[in-house]
Structure 1
Amino acid sequence: MKAIVLFAHGARDPRWAAPFERLQKLTQDALPEVAVRLSFLEFMSPALPALVAELAQQGCQQISVVPVFLGQGGHVLRDLPLILDSLRADYPAIQFRHSGAVGEDAGVLMAMRDYCVTQI
């Protein structure tokens, strides 16, 4: 079993998660054979360690963590690697992968630009 975890910051207002939930559904629809889950760094559940525990119980062998952040700030550069190091130690049978912040991708930036230019 493979999984993609969309890793977001989290917020106190539950409405903040709505676009990430839509992204999760869109991604799951595109990859029906992969478990697509949403996880948060803080304020919201599930946290990444709790989600990985659940995926491990389901027999997951590979987890790709995709930070759905606009930039490579401290959470992506410092916090996430520490969490992943701990998870790798706790779950040595699972192969963990992670990408850079989604907002750093050229295609994502172009899609955002296209949206912005339609607002004039």
Structure 2
Amino acid sequence: MSKRGIVLLAHGARDPAWAVPFEAVAARVRERAPEAVVRLAFLELMAPPLADAGAELAGLGCTRVDVVPVFLGGGGHVRRDVPAQLARLRETHAEVVWTLHDALGETPHVIAALADAAIDLAGLGFAAGHHPLDGLAT
């Protein structure tokens, strides 16, 4: 059986507190997928960058690494910068199958969760007879 790695790739910010929700996502992924080696990486302003996280997973013997952009949309970074960085990882670690996924914010799960959270924060969810997690696929 091959060893799996997951890189959750976030943008990065100067304020270290910005990373707290992303660290919580990484912890949740580790909890739900204990068979995978999970790393949080950043495109800029924070460490580790994708290159370092990817090299670490390759060094740990991961033969497949899924790169999941933790972005709301697939803008320029996800369409241009990330594929260029991933191409370098593919050259350096050809023994690893690298898969770049769509931005998380474009998935039905996240769209539903964001909509439900907005409704809940506005106080409309329960008052209108809807639970904030109704319709969220598991």
Q: Same fold (TM over 0.5)?
A: yes
For 2:62 and 2:121, locate their aligned partners in 1 and report how far apart those are by CA, in whole Å.
Answer: 43
1:26-45 alignment to 2 at 5 Å?
A: 26-45=28-47
> Could you tell me whether the CA contact under 8 Å between 2:55 and 2:89 is conserved in 1?
no
Deviation at 1:110, TM superposition (A): 0.8
Could you say which residue in structure 2 is the equivalent of 1:78?
Answer: 80
TM-score normalized by the length of structure 2 = 0.85
Moved over 2 A (4+): none
Could you say which residue in structure 2 is the equivalent of 1:97?
Answer: 99
Could you say which residue in structure 1 is the equivalent of 2:58?
Answer: 56
**Quick one: which amino acid aligns to residue 37 of structure 1?**
R
**Quick one: which amino acid aligns to residue 24 of structure 2?**
R
Could you say which residue in structure 2 is the equivalent of 1:111?
Answer: 113
Find the residue that maps to 1:71 and give its secondary structure. Answer: coil
Q: Gaps spanning 5+ residues in structure 2: where?
A: 123-138
Q: Gaps spanning 5+ residues in structure 1: where?
A: none
Could you say which residue in structure 1 is the equivalent of 2:70?
Answer: 68
TM-score normalized by the length of structure 1 = 0.97
For 1:118 and 1:81, locate their aligned partners in 2 and report how far apart those are by CA, in whole Å.
Answer: 36
Find the residue that maps to 1:44 and give its secondary structure. Answer: coil
**Quick one: which amino acid aligns to residue 108 of structure 1?**
V
Q: Deviations over 1:16-75 (max 9, x none)?
A: 000000000001000011011100000100001111111121111110000000001000
Give percent identity, aligned residues only. 46
**Quick one: which amino acid aligns to residue 28 of structure 1?**
R
**Quick one: which amino acid aligns to residue 101 of structure 1?**
A
Structure that is richer in helix per residue: 1
How large is the Cα RMSD of the aligned pairs? 0.7
Deviation at 1:116, TM superposition (A): 0.5
Could you say which residue in structure 1 is the equivalent of 2:20?
Answer: 18
Structure with more relative contact order (C-alpha pairs < 8 Å, separation 6 or more): 1
Residue correspondences, number: 120
**Quick one: which amino acid aligns to residue 56 of structure 1?**
A
Find the residue that maps to 2:47 and give its secondary structure. Answer: coil
For 1:119 and 1:2, locate their aligned partners in 2 and report how far apart those are by CA, in whole Å.
Answer: 37
